[in-house]
Chain A
Amino acid sequence: MGHPTIYPSGVTIYDPEKCWSGYTIFQAQEVGAVLMDMNGREVNVWKGVLGMPNKIFPGGTLITSRGRRSGKYSVQDGIDLVQVDWEGNITWKFDQVEFIEDAGETPRWMARYHHDFQREGNPVGYYAPGMEPRVDGGNTLVLSHRNVRNPKISDKQLLDDLIVETTWDGDIVWEWQCSDHFDEFGFREASKNALCRNPNYRPTKPEGMGDWMHINSMSCLGPNKWYDAGDERFHPENLIVDGREANIIFIIEKKTGKVVWKLGPDYDNSPEARAIGWIIGQHHAHMIPKSLPGGGNILVFDNGGWGGYDNPNPGSPTGVKAALRDYSRVLEIDPVSMKIVWQYTPREAGFLEPMDSNRFYSPFISGMQRLPNGNTLITEGSDGRVFEVTPDHKIVWEFISPYWGKHVPMNMTYRAYRVPYEWVPQVEKPVETPIKPLDVTTFRVPGAAAFGDRAKEVSVEGCEPYGGSNALCVASVEDN
C-alpha cells in the first residue's frame, strides 16, 4: 500500500470490550523479540534474537533463534532454535541438522531453521484452550533447509525445504524432504518448464541455488472434526504447509510422507478452485485448532504480490512469479467443501475495489491467528501492521511497529501472536486503557492548519453533483 510520509506508530486502536486481550509477541526489526500489552507497553524485550517467528509459550517462555547464517551462502538459514526463559537464559537448544563449513566462517552446527516450528502439545503454536505446548520436554517439528540436486525439477542446485522432528534431547526421529514429492504437487507442463529453467534462483556462493518451493509455514492439524468423522486425510498428526513460490497449500500424511490434500498450484482447474480464486505467494496456512471458533477450517494469508510458475505473460516474461495481484486476502476455507466460509479482504475493510484495494496489502511475510472469542489477529507484515478484527470485520485493535531497521529499511514484522495473560505469570495483568480511533480528517501535527480552516470559499454556478465510482479511470467491482 502507499504510505503517507508521516503516520502514527504503536497502538492506534483498542476496544477492550470487543478484544480478546492479552500480550502480543512480535519481532522488532533489528532489535529483538518484543512482548507488549494491549496498549503497547513492552513488558519484556529479548534483545538480539531473530525469531521467524517468535512464539511465547506458558511460563513467559520464548521460542526464537539467535541469528542467521551469512546470506552469502544461503537464504534465511536460522543458526538455531532456542527456548529462552523470562530472564534470557537458554533452557533448550536445537541446531544439529547440518554441520556447516562456509568459507571464511567458523565451522558449526546449524539448524538451518526458517519460517516455522511446532512444539508437542499444541498443533499450531498459538493459544487454544486445552492445547498447551510443552516447555519441559516433548518433540519439536522444525522447518529447515537442505541443498539438493534433483534433475527431475531443475539442473540448478536447489534450496530444498526439509521438515525434521527432534526429540527434547536433539535426536531427529522423523524427516520429510520436499523435492522427494515433486510428482505429487500436480504441476502442469508450463509450470514445470518455467520451474526447470529458473527454480527461483538465488545467487549464493559458492554456487547459486533455487529456492524453488519456499515453504513458509508448517503446523500439525491436531484433533479435528474431519478426522473424527472418518476422513483419514486429516489425521491429527498430519502436517499442513504452504509453498509461496508455487502458490500451493498441502497436507502431508505423517505416516507415509505423501501429499493427501492440496489447494493449488493452479486455481483454474476446478469450480471450487475458481470460486476461491488465485491464492498467490501465501503465508501461514494452518488448520484452526479444534477448541477455537472455526476449528477445522484452514486459515491462510493470501498475500497477492507475485508467485507461482506458469506460462510467460506480460507481468512475468519468464513464467516465474507468474501470478500477480496488488492486494491481500485473509481466507478461512472449509477443506472438505473447498469453500470460503469467512474472509477479510479489501472489500470487508471497506476499500473501494480495485482502486483502493492495495490499502490492505502485504506482498510477503504475514499471518493470522484465530482468537478464542472468534476475532482474528492479522499480521499485515510488510508494513508492520498488526490488527484484530471481529467476525463482522470491525477493527478493534491495531498496532503499527515503530521499529524500522537500518539494514532492512522497513518496519516489517514477520508474524505476531497473542497469548493469554496467564501465560506470562511474571507480570501483573496490566490496566487496559481504551484507545478510540483518531478522526484523521481533523487530526493535525503541530503547525498544520486545522481541518476546515479556510480563509475563503465560493460556490461556482452550474456545477454538477459529485458522482459515484464509475467516473474513475478503472471500472470498480460495483460496475460489474
Chain B
Amino acid sequence: MSITLYTAPDCIRCKIVKAFLAERNIEYGTVDFKENAQEFNTFYRTNRKAIYRNPEGVEFPLFFDGETVKQGSGEIIAYLLSGHVMEACVTRSDLLHGQISGLYPSRCPEGQEENFVTLVDRLSKGGLHVVVQSDGRKPELLKTLLGIGNVSAILNLAGSAETHAALYGGAPTKEELAASAELVSASEGGIVRFLAQPLPGEGDAKRWPGREDAAEAASMLAEATGKPTMPYQIAAVTADMIPGLQGLEPLPESELLIYRSASRKFLFKADIAK
C-alpha cells in the first residue's frame, strides 16, 4: 500500500513524521495543502468524517495508506509502530503549536511500552513539549517517559477506583497511585488533579461528577500518598478537549467550588486550576 502524507508548510509535526518514516525506511508521497490544493481538497472532501479540526483549523499532518486515515504526529507514529493497537492510549492532541498531548501511558497495552517510549522520544526529539496524562497505573512507564526530557506529566483522578475502572478500563493499586503521584509531583510542570469529565451514568447517559466523586478521588490519593498538603488541582474538561462533551451541558463553574470543598477534606491545598 502506498502512503501519502498531507502536510502544511513549516509544520513541525509534519517534519517529525517525515523523520520517523525516513528512520524506518518507509516510502511515502507528500501532498502540501497549499501547493497541491486541489488534490488535498479532494482527499479532504472524501474523508471529511475522519478528519478533525482544532480551534485553528485542520491539524497536520494527515496520513493515508489506502485504508486508514490518521491525523496528527502522535497518532500517525503510533499507527506506524503498532497499527491500531495503541489507539486507546494515543489520541488527538488538544494542545497546539509547540506542545502535544493525547498520550496516556497508563492505558498502554501490555507489550507496547517500548513502542510508547519510542513514540514519546521521537516527539520530544522532534522539538515538541510532550504532555502525558496518567491515571496512576504503570508508574514504571511514566518514570521512563519523564526521563526522556522535554516531557511533563499530569496525573488525573476522576473519582473512586470503581469510577476509574469504568472510565479508563482499570484503576491503579494504592502503591501504583502513590508512585505515580510522587513522580508527577516531583517533575517540572507536573500536575496532580481531579479532572471532572463525563462519567458513565444511567444506561448510556453520561453525567458530570458529583461531590462524592471528588471526595473519593481526593481520599484515595491522600490515603495512598499520606501527604494531605500535596499540591492538587481541580479542573474540568471543556468542549475543546471533548467535542460535544458527550451530550452534556458545559459544567457550571460553581461545581468546581464544590469539588474543591470536597477535596479539601483530604487534600488541604486543593485549588481550582487557573
Contacts and interface: CB of A to CB of B under 8 A. Distances in A.
A121 B20 CA distance: 67
- Interface residue SS majority, chain A: strand
Contact of A173 (B229, B258, B264, B269): B258
Contacts of A174: 254, 257
A170 B229 contact: no
Given A109-B268, A173-B254, A99 B261 contact: no
B229 A171 contact: no
A174 B211 CA distance: 15
B76 interface: no
B236 interface: no
A102 B211 CA distance: 30
B222 interface: no
A96 B264 contact: yes
- Interface residue SS majority, chain B: helix
B138 interface: no
Interface string B255-268: 00110111010001
Contact of A101 (B229, B254, B257, B260): B229
Contact of B257 (A99, A107, A109, A172): A172
A320 B229 CA distance: 38
B218 to A, nearest CB: 13
A85 interface: no
B258 A99 contact: no
Contacts of A170: 261
B90 to A, nearest CB: 37
A109 B267 CA distance: 12
A121 B102 CA distance: 49
A162 to B, nearest CB: 12
Contacts of A132: none
A237 to B, nearest CB: 14
Contacts of A356: none
A171 B261 contact: yes
B254 A99 contact: no
Interface string B220-247: 0000000001000000000000000000
A99 B262 contact: no
Interface in A105-148: 107, 109
8 contacts: A99-B268, A99-B269, A107-B229, A109-B268, A171-B257, A171-B258, A172-B260, A174-B257
B254 A171 contact: no
Interface of B: 211, 229, 254, 257-258, 260-262, 264, 268-269
A170 B265 CA distance: 10
A107 B228 CA distance: 12
A423 to B, nearest CB: 31
A334 interface: no
A173 B261 CA distance: 8
A175 B257 CA distance: 8
Nearest to A101: B229
A99 B260 contact: no
A175 B272 CA distance: 12
A410 B254 CA distance: 43
Nearest to B271: A98
Contacts of A107: 229
Nearest to A97: B264
Contacts of A96: 261, 264
Contacts of B260: 172
Nearest to B265: A96
Contacts of B257: 171-175
A116 to B, nearest CB: 20
Contacts of B229: 99, 101, 107
A109 B229 CA distance: 12
A177 to B, nearest CB: 11
Given A99-B229, A101-B229, A171 B269 contact: no
A173 to B, nearest CB: 6
A298 B254 CA distance: 30
A143 B137 CA distance: 42
A395 B270 CA distance: 52
B268 A171 contact: no
A367 B229 CA distance: 40
A109 B268 CA distance: 8
A171 B264 CA distance: 10
Contacts of A175: 257
A96 to B, nearest CB: 6
B229, B258, B264 pick with most chain A CB within 10 angstroms: B264
Contacts of A171: 211, 257-258, 261-262
A179 B264 CA distance: 24
Nearest to A99: B268
